[in-house]
Structure 1
């Protein structure tokens, strides 16, 4: 069935749903320009708006198809484009020592968060997502791991919201205490890059330390992003073993093809773009901007699945577990550095 203009009702609802997620992403962008909220960032602001909308107006069922497209397809597209941020050459040439530390950080963050979740009897899925987000690279890592561990959209959105907000709090805390720390710029940058959650959080915290601090911080962080791919394949292996050991009917674990795209663009960004094929910084900044908008729109789609009742009952204990892990991670890395 089509309307008088030849457009099917489904197409209209599909496009309307996508447009709706971008509208809230725009509102998040505008809110992030307000003093105070500028420290929180567009992503967290957009998720907050989406959750608040859901509580007052309910889920917009009429445009569910488009919202679902944003939360799944646009999310995968954003992760693929995120690969351009990873300079493999820099990591392998200058950051092999940091890679070992980064692997330890990821392992520590996941294991401690999952263990604390068992102690507190917290939601397993949200806690696992928070452990991965804390150890690797925040929202992007959570989004990559969520389909592998069969996380619900609402659990993914809760995890992303918590990691964005708490990561911002930690980044601001780092900038406040930096002047009183007995650390060189390089040591401070290594500490920030090895312990903070998102790439944006690392940049926020390290920039006041100077160019050397920022450079080494981003290098340490890129090492953790680099390890996202092997982590995903390790989780696939353990999920399959878990299904077999529980003697459950084997559930198909979808291969994360978007990670292949992530790897390809990482290789292109590291060895082709800017080398064999000249690409200006302006073009790359546009691509990074598109990546951020796609990720924000996708998170809006996920945020619309969150109810405050679920947030109260499911998120508090995982939040506490993640907070303890983040504090322990910061302290341990500080003394290691």
Structure 2
């Protein structure tokens, strides 16, 4: 009997969906709305795991959520990416997005290695910070076959810290007298998640929101070449290893849906409301996957070393904000 025919499989799926619905409900509350359902789902799952222990009988449904549903979510996430908008802005936009990713990788590994943080966790943090938060971490973790505890830690830290930066950004803009356009580019190139860039970018209306969206989407577009580059590097460095590096075929789906979505949107076949609907489904499924990832976190294994990746992410994010401010003014 395959896992798809077992009652336990569907119970595991149902538990992850229940946690997700609960997270969305809690995110409607005043303070928790700032954190967002994704981080809340991870937190609920971690609490469940450490209070009631891991439900071994439901493992098949939970692992399906953390792997298959995660890949589906990343593919659907591609609907957010309007390639034409980025192409219209030309090479300078993509060039600066590339600089942002390279700088983030450099700073994350520079600081992280000095603090003794594991390289795989550093790559997850760098990907999430430099590209597009949880979606990038999910894609890279699939390639690395990362420990789910590391994945949950990286996503949780980026969700919380990125939200904090998004809330502080308008205050910094007012103090430094940034123009709306410069401010939009600044938050678009420096904040981690699309939702965070939209939250901060909307502070000064469409004048800041439009450049924020374009800047952020230019980084999302680079998810595909970055993941392919990681596969190539790992394949080269692991030549003597019997374990082959898995190719992220689901990222091809992400690119394909981006292209299809852009063509349909530009030709009036697809409406903005439908695009938003599909994007909402992607976010929901991503939250389901993150709930499953959170179920693997055993707090008993955490110690003072958990402070090192947090400190790495904090310093990298501050350095990235300063770097982006330099290249956009």
TM-score range, shorter chain: over 0.9
The CA deviation at 1:278 is 1.8
220 and 9 in structure 1: CA distance in 2 versus 1, 3 angstrom threshold: closer
Q: Look up the SS of the partner of 1:147 in the other structure.
A: helix
Aligned counterpart in structure 1 of residue 46 of structure 2, from 45, 51, 63 = 51
State the partner residue of 1:60: 55
Q: Look up the SS of the partner of 1:336 in the other structure.
A: helix
1:176-218 superposed Cα distances (whole Å, 9 cap, x missing partner): 3332221110000000001110000000111012102100011
State the partner residue of 1:268: 260
Aligned counterparts of 1:80 and 1:23: Cα–Cα separation in 2: 23
Contact 1:95–1:220 under 8 Å retained in 2: no
1:49-93 superposed Cα distances (whole Å, 9 cap, x missing partner): 111111101111111100111100000000000111101111111
Residues 1:136 and 2:128 are matched in the alignment: no
State the partner residue of 2:6: 11
The CA deviation at 1:8 is 8.8
State the partner residue of 1:286: 277
Contact 2:65–2:292 under 8 Å retained in 1: yes
Aligned counterparts of 2:181 and 2:166: Cα–Cα separation in 1: 17
The CA deviation at 1:313 is 4.7
Single out whichever of 110-119 and 297-306 deviates more from structure 2: 110-119
Residues 1:322 and 2:313 are matched in the alignment: yes
Contact 2:261–2:270 under 8 Å retained in 1: no
Aligned counterparts of 2:110 and 2:211: Cα–Cα separation in 1: 31
The CA deviation at 1:276 is 4.5
Residues 1:299 and 2:299 are matched in the alignment: no
Aligned counterpart in structure 2 of residue 150 of structure 1, from 141, 145, 150 = 145
Single out whichever of 273-282 and 17-26 deviates more from structure 2: 273-282
Gaps of 5+ in 2: none
Q: Look up the SS of the partner of 1:136 in the other structure.
A: helix
Which ranges of 4 or more aligned residues in structure 1 deviate by more than 6 Å?
none
State the partner residue of 1:176: 171
State the partner residue of 1:167: 162
Aligned counterparts of 2:3 and 2:289: Cα–Cα separation in 1: 24
State the partner residue of 1:4: none
RMSD: 1.7
The CA deviation at 1:114 is 1.3
311 and 101 in structure 1: CA distance in 2 versus 1, 3 angstrom threshold: farther
Gaps of 5+ in 1: 2-6
Single out whichever of 102-111 and 248-257 deviates more from structure 2: 248-257
8 and 162 in structure 1: CA distance in 2 versus 1, 3 angstrom threshold: closer
Residues 1:240 and 2:235 are matched in the alignment: yes
Q: TM-score under structure 1 normalisation?
A: 0.93
